[in-house]
Structure 1
Amino acid sequence: MKTLQKLALGTLVAVAAVGTAGWFSLDKETRGLLKTVPTNRDLLFWSDAQRDAAFRALDRISLLAKWNTAQPAATARALPAGEPLKIDMDVDAYMQEHRVAALVILQGGKLRQERYGLGFDGDGRWTSFSVAKSFTSTLVGAALKDGHIKSMNDKVSDYLPDLKGSAYDDVSIRQLLTMTSGVQWNEDYGDTNSDVARFNNHKPEPGVEALVSYMRKLPRAAPAGSRWLYSTGETNLIGLVLEAAIKKPLTQYLQEKVWQPAGMEQQATWLLSKTGKEISGCCVQAAPRDYARLGQFILEGARVNGQSILPDGWLEEATHKQADIGAPGRGYGYQWWTYDSGAFAARGIFGQGIFIDPKRQLVIASNGNWHKAGSADNPSYAAREAFYAAVQKAVDDEARAPAQ
């Protein structure tokens, strides 16, 4: 059974180790935390201490050293303080045991909880990993509203002609967003022969985008639309489709449609691939409060001056089950993990997340560096779900309490 917890690093598996020049350009705190410079290209084998430092400075320490920047709003959206939620659990112990770097809880548009760990604070930026997938999905919706993409039923090969004749020739944008292409893909980070590992060493054909060169060789395993399979490679394809449609870098579009209109306080950076394209399945660096603001923006319907940046009904589809992932009560929308309760979440490996519960007007943004990455037996996944449930209960208890 495909596990709900099988999240993706995507091409970040190939993010290069810290170079000497990059090491000395880091701030004192980061250099102190990093202890020894990682020499292994695969961050899955870095120590906890190395990841603690790297995750707050991934754009600065990569040998790739290339990213695009989304500038913040001229005036940041205020997050007015509310009464602290009375959560029926030891939050500090939860954060310590599961190595949580940041927790920002908004409820009713107010800041109800904000805590930090791992020596991190709200002035820094933490990497998103696959939380970026939900950013990319939102930009696809904006491109539909703007007329850059005609229909969710458009074929991927209409935008990426080099995919014609491949298994992706009859795959729609909708099927990419729901990860139901039916194309064969292996995202097992422990398997050196998996697609996610082999892609990083792929030598592209002359004149063909590296990702397209690899993906167009993949065989079909099931009819398009017939089964769900988690594939960061396909989210990266979505990014290429989107850039071909909007004819500008994804970061620029993010700044125009989301980052500035939503009132973000700090800049965000988005790591680029070897060919200079945003790694759309991964790798946005942003401040914890801005991740929470993104959640609030989505919760409020992605509206700017009263008008949604998304087509009518699109966000409802995006955040509700479009694909069965084999987990009771859960599903997958358009690059959002869904709950049958109506809640939904953006999720990234090592503890990154934005949980949104419209019923309770609740947003929980979290960053972390779990001891383990994506695996079915990782206790941190269950612990985070229990934390979400405890916060939901706190909101419900407060609503039931008699007025003072």
Structure 2
Amino acid sequence: MLRITLVALGALAVGVLAGVGVYRAVVPFPNDAIARGEAFEPENAVWLYQHMSEVYPTRHVPRAEVSAPLPVIEGRLEEFTYTHDGKQQPLDALFDNMETTGLLVLHKGNIVYERYARGADAGTLFATFSAVKSITSTLVGFAIGDGLIDSVEDPLEKYIPALTGTAYEGVSVRHALQMSSGVLFDADGAAGEDTVEVLTQTMVLGNKRINEMSASYPRAHEPGTVFNYNTSETQILLWLVKEVTGKQPAKYLEEKIWRPLGMDHDAAWNLDNPGPDGMEIGGAFFNASLRDLARFGLFIEQDGIWNGEQLLPAGWVDEATRIEEPHLDYGTVFEGFDSGYGYQWWVFPDGSFRASGAYGQTIYIDRDKDLVVARTSAWPDGYVAESDLESRAAFAALADFLNQPAE
């Protein structure tokens, strides 16, 4: 169950190609649509996850004129090892044992490790896949801080009138943040037929609009009672952000995060359709450099404070990473997996939490130990349990090693 549920978009590689193949057999369409579908061939994975913003329609997110420094401390991890499966290994083993393309470790705001592989470098814009879900939920927090959303208890249709009469009517903002709307999407929790259909019909073929597709699914459960991990739920939240701000989400992201945090590089957010009316995809396909993903993680690790200024509402990070309902509790959301779920963040019993995307994309945060790890990868499957377990062992060991008392 764990493998299929944490895939997020793991079925897309096969599913998109299948969808494109069926469509090609019935209706001819432009060569660029063929290229967008065929880009997901498995042999293209390493290249594609570093060039997603060049293949599919995107919206630009400009960086700040002056980037915020991330001081570098050399040699801090020379003696570090972690233990997994009975073997003691250096941090570089994460590159040898799995398809890691970039790994950056921040401790107390300092870079203590940074390495790239498989053609990537510090300027590469990596596809985040579902890790962007945590960025989308953070934009909801900003909208609350701006007074544009009164409460997470408000029903979504208060702000998105188009949801009246749909399965999302009566669903609160909180329910959507917790993937608990009760709306049926990918019934088994995996990136199944619904995910493949949405992404094929939008960013690959440009036939449909993602907001309308996300609002079209039926109700299966009472809101707030059942966890169902799905990308459509996050899309509803990004639609909410657009409605209450009156801005393209990429613009709001620029104003609230990208410029204030002094990001190094422009980012790119993939759209459901090309052109000025294209809508950003809230649950996947945001593209950014590794250092900038780490800066976002550091911002969250610092409780939404940057350069001494409280940018996010005070207490939002605590709320967003708290387990609030039994169906979201540790070990409950997925059988055999010790995580719980907050506001689009995976939360662990030791207090650490992470943004997580298919094929190994991760922003791991341990606030108690001042640790942020940003990792990009090209795993052969959307979720590889052994790689995930080894990564978590390494990250937990990092937290302990970096916080050893001075001798």
Could you say which TM-score interval applies, normalised by the shorter chain?
Answer: 0.7 to 0.9
Count of residues in correspondence between the two structures: 372
Contact 1:372 1:378 in 2 (8 A): no
Q: Secondary structure at the match of 1:56?
A: coil
Q: Following superposition of structure 1 onto structure 2, how do residues 239-278 of structure 1 map, counting pairs within 5 Å? A: 239-274=238-273, 276-278=278-280
Matched with 1:33 is none
Is 1:360 aligned to 2:372, yes or no?
A: no
Identity %: 32
Q: Secondary structure at the match of 2:268?
A: strand
Q: Distance in 1 between matches of 2:368 and 2:189?
A: 36
Q: Secondary structure at the match of 1:282?
A: coil
Contact 1:81 1:111 in 2 (8 A): yes
* CA gap 1:73/1:200 in 2 versus in 1, 3 angstroms: closer
> Shift in Å at residue 215 of structure 1?
3.6
Matched with 1:342 is 351
Q: Distance in 2 between matches of 1:182 and 1:224?
A: 5
Which is worse superposed, 247-256 or 87-96? Answer: 87-96
Contact 2:2 2:337 in 1 (8 A): no
Matched with 2:293 is 291
Q: Distance in 1 between matches of 2:108 and 2:102?
A: 20
The amino acid that maps onto 1:273 is D
Q: Which runs of 5+ in 2 are unaligned?
A: 21-28, 82-88, 203-207
Is 1:158 aligned to 2:158, yes or no?
A: yes
Q: Distance in 2 between matches of 1:214 and 1:280?
A: 13
Q: Secondary structure at the match of 2:92?
A: helix
> Shift in Å at residue 54 of structure 1?
1.1
> Shift in Å at residue 302 of structure 1?
1.8
The amino acid that maps onto 2:133 is K
CA deviations 1:83-134 (Å, max 9, x no partner) are 4223212333321221100000000111111111112111221111111111
Contact 1:7 1:347 in 2 (8 A): no
Q: Secondary structure at the match of 1:218?
A: coil
Contact 1:5 1:381 in 2 (8 A): no
Of the three residues 73, 76, 79, the one matched with 1:84 is: 76
> Shift in Å at residue 344 of structure 1?
0.8
Matched with 2:59 is 68
Q: Which runs of 5+ in 1 are unaligned?
A: 23-36, 204-208
Q: Following superposition of structure 1 onto structure 2, how do residues 158-307 of structure 1 map, counting pairs within 5 Å? A: 158-186=158-186, 194-200=193-199, 210-274=209-273, 276-307=278-309
Contact 2:211 2:236 in 1 (8 A): yes
Of the three residues 376, 398, 406, the one matched with 1:391 is: 398
The amino acid that maps onto 1:170 is G
Contact 1:211 1:237 in 2 (8 A): no
Contact 1:12 1:282 in 2 (8 A): no
Contact 2:304 2:313 in 1 (8 A): no
Q: Secondary structure at the match of 1:139?
A: helix
Contact 1:129 1:283 in 2 (8 A): yes
Q: Secondary structure at the match of 2:114?
A: strand
Q: Distance in 1 between matches of 2:36 and 2:272?
A: 19
The amino acid that maps onto 2:76 is P
The amino acid that maps onto 1:94 is L
Which is worse superposed, 252-261 or 183-192? Answer: 183-192
Aligned CA RMSD, in angstroms, stands at 2.9
